[in-house]
Amino acid sequence: MALGDKIFGELAEKKEWNALQKRAKALPADFYKTYKAIQKYLFNMGLSDWRIFYEILDLLELASLDGQTVKEVIGTDVAAFADNFIDDKKQDWHEKYRHELNQYFNQNQR
């Protein structure tokens, strides 16, 4: 990867992150505080793909538009709610790699 591509890629990613955070700030105050708390928790847990926040933000935006409360959406265990997002992603990757491994093995065994 050329240096220019890397720099422009990082700038585009930063712009995408800032746009996501701007959307979050438009949430009602209680939803925004919850979003930020989940964000902090997931980063402290070692989250490496910040794009998961799109899913969380979409859910919170829809819930607020539907007139739901944060507690109705997330429940009483916010950490468990956040962990479910990580677990779902881990499971997706786990299945993807299992499938790729089996496919590779089946193609190379003749």
The two structure tokens encoding residue 89: 């992603």
| Class of the CATH-defined domain 3-108 | mainly alpha
CB 56 within 8 A of CB 27: no
What pLDDT is recorded for position 56?
94
Q: What is the pLDDT of residues 40-98, one digit of tens each?
A: 999 888 887 888 899 999 999 999 999 999 999 999 999 999 988 777 555 555 566 67
**DSSP assignment of 43-77:** HHTT---TTHHHHHHHHHHHHHHTT--HHHHH-S-
Report the C-alpha gap between 6 and 9 in whole angstroms. Answer: 5
* Domain assignments of the chain as residue spans, ordered by start: 3-108
